[in-house]
Structure 1
Amino acid sequence: MAVRRPHTTPSSTSTTFTDLGVPAALTEALAAGGITTPFPIQTATLPDTLAGRDVLGRGRTGSGKTYAFALPVLTRLAASTSPRRPGRPRALILAPTRELATQIEATIAPLARALSLRTLTVFGGVSPNPQVSGLRAGVDILVACPGRLADHLKTGHARLDAVEITVLDEADHMADLGFLPVVRQLLDQTPRSGQRLLFSATLDAGVEVLVRRFLTDPVTHSVDSSLSPVAAMSHHVLHVSHDDRLPVLVDLAAAPGRTLVFTRTKRGAKTLTRRLVAAGVQAVELHGNLAQSARDRNLLAFSEGSAKTLVATDIAARGIHVDGITLVIHADPPVEHKAYLHRSGRTARAGAHGTVVTLMTDDQVGDVRELARKAGIAPTTTRLRPGHPLLTRLAPGQRSFVTPPVDHPAVTDTSRHDRSRRNAKPLSSTMPHAGSVSPHGTSSPQSGSGRGGRTAAAAPARSSGAAAFSARTHVGARRGSR
């Protein structure tokens, strides 16, 4: 059983990383990146993790878990005398998605370089050859997704017998995605004497199995329940007709700042992205049907600001961390409250304010009401049409629109559908009602706006893309994956 040790989290002004025991080399590297004040999850866990204890840490998404486990990993390896050996990492960090693994490594890499430590990411969807070369050259910290790492173990390119410290990040998401059997196989190959840290937003039954089997006399620290409200996050439900869904989305997404829009299916994300682009919104898509290079390119465009709107499936609910997401829109309301909370957690991160909007049609009223109850929120519900003044309050600022190139897929796709609108049939996998959803519900450095192109005071009442999209909305969809 995990030991639940009472603790008092000092105020942010009274505790420093040095006070918590972080070595000077790391505090200086953190300060160089503008990070000087620990978050509560870091303040709570670092004394135990730095002392070598197994720790179970719970904190909602955006609470700062990445540094909470990165700092003890780096500290331990810097103090260790074990040499770096080919194919035998000294620390292992398991993450459920490629995007999360990439961002964990990006967070750790600058600190690792300051300590002359080498990092490597391993995940599927890309050629294994560069990963094999990196493993052969020797690596201190391996950040990996379970499936691809298991492949490298089978082929003999990696061994886990030299791992001194193991981290499971987003353990509950690992369980949701069905990774637990592989995770158990991997952990069984790490030394029992090694230190193990498990971080999760929720502590479900699957996570408890991992805790009992692999953690030794762990200390549990819970900072913010997964259901506790975020004071800086406001929740709104917009009750709209099917025909008004896209015009309302266009209005909100065309405002300054970064907007993250969630759909249920991969096809829905692709279709909605094309409709937004055709309406003049700078949008990119993120879902499992994209090649890894396209996923990386689109996420980079969103994070750097060349695309202000990202349309994604639940692959982005916990796998991305982009500063300055001011608005999250549930174009397809999820059924499970955990999915709602994780999606919504992409905004209001690190103390910033954020707004969460759920679009709801008449047939979704009961589902959305139950979703809000289970999520522990009391959203403001408003029935509205395009042009309603609330849209400007939810997403303030001048609306901006750009004209996509004539050869852009959004333009050709919209033109094709405009020519056949009289015979258009509902597209089942574009924007299904909540009753057919089956969703599967960490941290950039502790921290956009303006859009290029022509501007307008408000979103167009109806673009050709909006019309085509509105003619193809709802009907129950087949179950799809991210």
Structure 2
Amino acid sequence: MSTFADPSTFPSVFDAPATFADLGLPAPLVRELDREGITTPFEIQAATVPDALAGRDVLGRGQTGSGKTLAFGLPLLTRLSQGERARSRHPRALILVPTRELAMQVADALRPLGRAVGVFLTTAVGGVPYDRQIDSLRRGVEIMVATPGRLKDLIERGSCSLDDIAITVLDEADQMADMGFLPEVTELLDKTPKVGQRMLFSATLDGDVDALVKRFMTDPVTHSTAPPVATVTTMDHHLLLIPPHDKLAVTAAIAARDGRTIMFARTQMGVDRLVGQLAAVGVRAGALHGGKTQRARTRTLAEFREGRVNVLVATDVAARGIHVDGVSLVVHIDPPKDSKDYLHRAGRTARAGESGAVATLVLPKQRKSTLAMLQRAGVDPAQTRVRPGDAALAELTGAREPSGVPVVDEPTPPPAKRVPPRPHGHRPPRAPHHGAPRRRGDHEGFRGKDRSGRG
């Protein structure tokens, strides 16, 4: 017997819903969405939610920032919350994503909605202690948001099983293919029941994901709300032609602008070097790349999202994983290697109907190849020659002269040394007499087998 509500009770895609209630979502979900200021479905949500609620396999393509997370998250939460509840402590739904940042943001978006309908989720990502994730699984969760590598590790440790998965979602599937995750994704999908529902969402649905679609999806319905070219009318594209010796000064002036800015560099070393160079001229920036610990990456994203830092410098690892509203400018410090990377980077701005601009810094020798790449991306940028201090640079990007006062981060104070509590009735040992053999543990002030004072 199915553990989900009868799909026939959900509306048809042709009903043209104007609100989330019209889509057939339960009242608690609609109320929570309204509380968060989300009242009208985006195009991808209105198109895909009815089919997903009906239990169909779904292929969804939409430009980044178009609302794909709720497009799969809302029907997933609805189906899990209605009908007979499974008694298993294993997860019943799996959301696979390519990066830790994206996993955290998907979980942050769905967690309050899940609480509204009594559905609980956890994450399984690298860079986080295993114990915390294993403990969540032991307590029982219904949704697992995971990166392929960490989920595979948990399964091999015997801490997680996919035997009860009824709904599987692949988010940013083409990026998983680009990052070489297809073998792991295939192995994980093979561990889920063949009768389960599967949804695949991505900015593009090209040949890279055909193998997954053909092997794991059954008669999927496809909803495409945007072609894989830059068609966002609220996004301006600029090619800034600069002399090599002016690149740093132009970059620093742009970074000193008002507003939230993301800058993309090609390498981790390039990111760290640029953050240091900006700090030297008075611009505080955060660095985000795969070489950072998860704690550092989470802290940097939080500072950027909360406005404590207005500039984020990142590698392409963050091109799909950063979903922060209010980014008004994306700057390609190093032109991306192909059109797909350009679109993914550019998609950090002009999200959800907001306006934004994309600027690419181009040296003379890069101009021809960059223009060819932009043509493949469907972008016809305005080309402008700029130098530091030019009025055109300020007009196009909001650039201004940095303060020149170096940014000095206050050192983080070391954590206070924790003194273990002394057991009741315990008295410290006397110092050994000269020449007497020292007892094990005496030099630590404890007589027991460990250093905690517990004996």
Bin for the TM-score computed over the shorter chain: 0.7 to 0.9
Give the equivalent residue in structure 2 for 1:42: 45
Work out the CA distance in 1 between the residues paired with 2:14 and 2:395: 38
What's the CA shift for 1:84? Answer: 4.9
Read off the aligned partner of 2:94 and give its amino acid letter: L
Preserved CA contact (<8 Å) 1:119 1:141: yes
> Do the aligned partners of 1:256 and 1:399 also contact (CA within 8 Å) in 2?
no
Q: Provide the residue aligned with 1:421 in structure 2.
A: none
Question: Pairwise mapping of residues 70-85 of structure 1 onto structure 2 (< 5 A)?
Answer: 70-85=73-88
For 1:42 and 1:24, the matched residues in 2 are separated by 17
CA distance in 2, matches of 1:256, 1:400: 11
Deviation at 1:127, TM superposition (A): 1.5
1:246 to 1:405, Cα distance in 2 relative to 1, 3 A = closer
CA distance in 2: counterparts of 1:75 and 1:185, whole angstroms: 27
Q: Which amino acid aligns with 1:169?
A: D
Q: Secondary structure at the match of 2:353?
A: coil
Shift in CA distance, 289/397, structure 1 to aligned 2, threshold 3 Å: closer
Q: Contact 2:121–2:141 (CA<8 Å) still a contact in 1?
A: yes
Contact 2:281 2:407 in 1 (8 A): no
What's the counterpart of residue 422 of structure 1?
A: none
Q: Secondary structure at the match of 1:284?
A: strand
C-alpha separation between the residues in 1 aligned to 2:315 and 2:92?
Answer: 34
The whole-number CA distance in structure 1 between the counterparts of 2:134 and 2:373 is 45
1:249 and 2:255 equivalent? no
Partner residue in 2 for 1:449: none
Does structure 2 conserve the Cα–Cα contact (< 8 Å) formed by 1:84 and 1:140? no
Counterpart Cα distance in 2 of 1:221 and 1:251: 42
Match of 2:91 in 1: 89
Q: What whole-Å deviation, never above 9, does each CA across 1:76-135 have from its counterpart, x for those lacking one?
A: 10014233533x101100000000000000000000111121110001122111111111
The Cα shift of 1:364 comes to 0.3
- Say if 1:337 and 1:8 are closer, same or farther in 2 by CA, change over 3 A: farther
- Letter matched to residue 113 of structure 1: R
The 8 Å contact of residues 54 and 216 in structure 1, kept in 2 or not, is answered as yes
Is the Cα contact below 8 Å between 2:389 and 2:400 reproduced in 1? no
How big is the shift at 1:154? 0.8
Letter in 2 for 1:41: I
Equivalences for residues 252-401 of structure 1 within 5 A? 252-396=254-398, 401=403
Following TM superposition, by how much is the alpha carbon of 1:353 offset from its aligned partner in structure 2, in angstroms? 0.3
How many angstroms apart in 2 are the aligned matches of 1:105 and 1:408?
32
Separation in structure 2 between the aligned mates of residue 178 and residue 94 of structure 1, nearest angstrom? 14
Partner SS state of residue 205, structure 2: coil
Maintained 8 Å contact 2:94/2:169: yes
Question: Percent identical across equivalent pairs?
Answer: 53
Aligned to 1:21: 24
- Distance in 1, matches of 2:272 and 2:230, equals 33
Change (3 A) 1:64 1:406: closer
Structure 2 Cα separation of the partners of residues 407 and 306 of structure 1: 13
Unaligned runs of 5+ in 2: 1-12, 412-455
In the other structure, the counterpart of 1:101 is: 103
Cα distance in structure 1, aligned partners of 2:20 and 2:276 = 46
What amino acid is aligned across from residue 332 of structure 1 in structure 2? D
Secondary structure at the counterpart of residue 322 of structure 2: coil
Equivalent residue, structure 2, for 1:161: 163
Task: Report the AA paired with residue 46 of structure 1.
Answer: V
Do 1:90 and 1:141's aligned partners in 2 also have CA atoms closer than 8 Å? yes
Cα deviation, 1:306-341, whole Å, max 9, x if unaligned, reads 110000000111011111000000000012100000
Q: Structure 1: which 5+ residue stretches go unaligned?
A: 1-6, 410-482
Is 1:177 paired with 2:179?
A: yes
1:357 Cα offset (Å): 0.2
Partner of 2:352: helix, strand, or coil?
A: coil
Whether the 8 Å CA contact 2:393–2:399 is kept in 1: the answer is: no
Q: Structure 1: how far apart are the matches of 2:403 and 2:307? A: 15
Larger radius of gyration: 2
Preserved contact between residue 94 and residue 143 of structure 1 (Cα < 8 Å): yes
- In 2, are the aligned partners of 1:256 and 1:395 still within 8 Å (CA)? no
CA distance in 2, matches of 1:194, 1:207: 19
Shift of 1:404: 3.9
Which residue identity lines up with residue 195 of structure 2 in the other structure? Answer: S
User: 1:64 is aligned with what amino acid?
Assistant: G
- 3-state DSSP of counterpart to 2:351: coil
CA distance in 1, matches of 2:375, 2:190: 40
**Distance in 1 separating the partners of 2:141 and 2:300:** 29
Distance 1:345 1:196 in 2: 25
Distance 1:85 1:173, change over 3 A: same
Q: TM-score, normalised by structure 1?
A: 0.80
Quote how far apart the aligned CAs of 1:398 are: 6.7
Amino acid at match of 2:58: V
CA positional deviation for 1:402 = 7.5
Q: Does 1:55 align with 2:65?
A: no
TM-score by length of 2: 0.85
Question: CA-atom RMSD, angstroms?
Answer: 1.8
- Does the 8 Å CA contact 2:335/2:370 hold for their aligned counterparts? yes
Partner of 2:138: 136
- Give the letter for the 1:23 counterpart: P
Distance 1:58 1:330, change over 3 A: same
Deviation track 1:19-55 (CA, whole Å, cap 9, x = no partner) reads: 1111111111100110000000001101100111110
Instruction: Find the residue that maps to 2:283 and give its secondary structure.
Output: coil
Contact persistence 1:135–1:158 (CA under 8 A) = yes
User: What is the Cα deviation at residue 401 of structure 1?
Assistant: 3.8
Q: Which residue of 2 aligns with 1:31?
A: 34
Taking a change above 3 Å as real, the CA distance of residues 407 and 79 of structure 1, as seen in their structure-2 partners, is closer
Q: Note if contact 1:54-1:218 (Cα within 8 Å) is conserved in structure 2.
A: yes
Question: Secondary structure, in 3 states, of the residue corresponding to 1:106?
Answer: helix
C-alpha distance in 2 between matches for 1:407 and 1:151: 37
Counterpart of 2:34 in 1: which secondary structure?
A: helix
8 Å Cα contact 1:84/1:90 also seen in 2: no
